[in-house]
Amino acid sequence: MIFDYETMRLIWWALLGALLIGFAITGGFDLGVAILLPFLGKNDTERRVIINTVGATWEGNQVWFVTAGGALFAAWPMAYSVAFSGFYFALLLTLFALFLRPVGFDYRSKLPSPIWRRNWDIALFVGGLVPALIFGVAFGNLLKGVPFHFDNEMRIFYTGSFWALLNPFSLAAGLVSLCMLIMHGAVFLQVKTVGDINQRCKTVVTLFTIITLVIFALAGFWVSAIDGYQISSAILPNAVSNPLAKTVTNAAGLWLANYGRCPVLWVIPALAFVTGITTVLLSKLDRPGLAFISSSLTLATIILTAGVSMFPFLIPSSSEMNSSLTVWDASSSLATLKIMFWVTLIFLPIVLSYTTWAFRVMRGKITLEYIHQNDHTTY
């Protein structure tokens, strides 16, 4: 039956992934562009060019993140509760950094004072850097396992600390996400600019694509050494969502077990490398539009690699493994999953179509002349 619990859970695992990838592709270049702002903009007008490449669309892009958060709450309420209360200070830092973006974009060019603008440039840089890094660190910690457990009434207890999140493996994952978003931001800037900035972008694309792929490859080898998790009791994909009903074991290299069972999955990480290299080539050949598609695929395949390695785990518990949250026992009820599925089926295409329209309206290069001519209306 197409609408049974198992199928719905799989669909919602995929939809959550799609929303995260949607955020990485759209909101991701905004973050990358903000990180590059102080380095690629040599004077105020150049910095305004950079800001205005994303000025009209960043707000809509960030909604991918908001919606992914909402979807996590609606479809995987236990994962939402565990992640948000467990990664408390990491999320607080992310939130505070994200605060800097709406005010940074909107207020920066409202006053001519160079000190005012300089400070907002720093704020935008921090607002890009911190989330880009922490998102990866969070993924790294999911792969490592998170120290949490439930009591009999399903109250969550997190027994780790903020500093424990900053372990070497997770920091490497953080660097992957940071570097890939810088790469993606640079590709987008190359699309939207001409002249000096455009040329500087190419160097950035090459450098950061290579760093991304190298660390991604290292993390791949590293994963075979860290503990992965697997469900050792019978898997009941249609049972009620009770994470305490199963048993879980861990062992080094288990995160690669899915690839052993289904070797075709190797295509996903392999594609990350192929599209990464294509991105560099296309950027060098001055085909930034195609390079953007290619770097979007790089992001998507890197995120998917993490997802399929962990499947069916959402948040494995390192302290009481049986409390781990998986696709089969951490979802909302079937009724909620179904309703949210229909809502998404109707609204996601609508969102995609008007977003595409908005990008088409705002298409074209941002030039120094454009900033001069629209001094009082642009960011």
Residue 158 as a binder of other proteins (CB under 8 A): the answer is yes
Nearest to 209 by CA among 183, 171, 174, 190: 183
| Calpha distance 297→310 (Å, rounded) | 20
- Residue 14 to residues 7, 11, 142, 363, 374: CA-CA distances in angstroms? 11, 5, 17, 30, 43
Residues in contact with other proteins, shown as a per-residue x/- string from 214 to 243 under the rule CB under 8 A: --------------------------xxx-
154 near other proteins (CB under 8 A): yes
Do 156 and 81 touch, CB atoms closer than 8 A? yes
Q: Of residues 311-340, which lie at the interface with other proteins (CB under 8 A)?
A: 332-333, 335-336, 339-340
Nearest distance in Å: CB 56, other proteins: 4
Q: Is 284 in the site for other proteins (CB under 8 A)?
A: no
| Per-residue binding letters, 72-91, with other proteins (x by CB under 8 A) | -xxx-xx-xxxxxx--xx-x
Q: Does 14 bind other proteins (CB under 8 A)?
A: no
| Separation CA 2–CA 341 (nearest Å) | 12
**Tokens in use for 172?**
């490497």
Omega before residue 312 within 30° of 0, cis: yes
Q: Which of residues 40-59 bind other proteins (CB under 8 A)?
A: 55-59
Q: How far apart are CA 49 and CA 55, in angstroms?
A: 9
CB of 248 to other proteins, least distance (A): 19
358 binds other proteins (CB under 8 A): yes
Q: What does the alpha-carbon distance between residue 238 and residue 329 come to, in Å, rounded to a whole number?
A: 9
CB of 152 to other proteins, least distance (A): 6
How far, CA to CA in Å, does 28 sit from each of 55, 106, 156, 338, 376? 14, 19, 31, 29, 28
Residue 152 engages other proteins in binding (rule: CB under 8 A): yes
Q: Which residues contact 261 (CB under 8 A, 6 or more apart)?
A: none
Interactions with other proteins, residue window 111-130 (CB under 8 A): 111
- Please tell me whether residue 99 binds other proteins under the rule CB under 8 A: yes
Return the range that interacts with other proteins (CB under 8 A); candidates 103-111, 165-173, 201-209, 301-309. Answer: 103-111
Helix (H, G, I), strand (E, B) or coil at 324: coil
Position 51: which residue type? Answer: I
* Total residues found in the chain within this entry: 379
Closest approach of other proteins to the CB of residue 350, in Å: 8
From the list 64-72, 136-144, 174-182, 258-266, the region that binds other proteins by CB under 8 A is 64-72
The rounded distance, in Å, linking the Cα atoms of 27 and 98 is: 11
> Tokens in use for 222?
């590293």
Binding site for other proteins (CB under 8 A): 55-60, 62-63, 66-67, 69-71, 73-75, 77-78, 80-85, 88-89, 91-92, 95-96, 98-99, 101-103, 105-107, 110-111, 152-158, 240-242, 332-333, 335-336, 339-340, 343-344, 347-348, 351, 354-355, 358, 361-362, 376-378
